[in-house]
Amino acid sequence: MTQTTLKTAQTTINLPDSALTDYFRSAGDLLTEEQAILGAAIRKLMASGRPLTNKEIILRLIDEIEITDDVVRIDIIRKTLEIVVDHTLDDI
């Protein structure tokens, strides 16, 4: 599996799948909020020592939906989750 890089406003993150990175890069500023949500989820995974896999990213986003009370934030997280699921391959 190859690693690709997603550069967010705060950091550069190595993602396990190039399709996801390419999608965010091609969207430009249209997905700024979703990119921030994804970046935060990935940073939390890395800080906890969890592996950076598509499955772990998806589970982290689901956890965020479950603990968030703000309906607008939930919608952004849900959209981010849809993007991740639609643009990543299954982990093998």
Q: State pLDDT tens for residues 34-57.
A: 999 999 999 999 999 998 888 999
Q: How confident is the model at residue 10 (pLDDT cuts 50, 70, 90)?
A: very low
Structure confidence at residue 56 (pLDDT): 93
The phi and psi torsions of 7 (rounded to 5 degrees) equal -100, 115
Helix (H, G, I), strand (E, B) or coil at 70: coil
**Which residue did the predictor score with more confidence, 74 or 13?**
74
Q: State pLDDT tens for residues 62-77.
A: 999 999 999 999 999 9
Look up residue 26 and give its amino acid: S
Domain 18-91 grouped into CATH 1.20.5.5260: yes
* Distance separating alpha carbons of residues 76 and 92, to the nearest angstrom: 28
**Which residue did the predictor score with more confidence, 15 or 12?**
15
* Distance separating alpha carbons of residues 52 and 16, to the nearest angstrom: 7
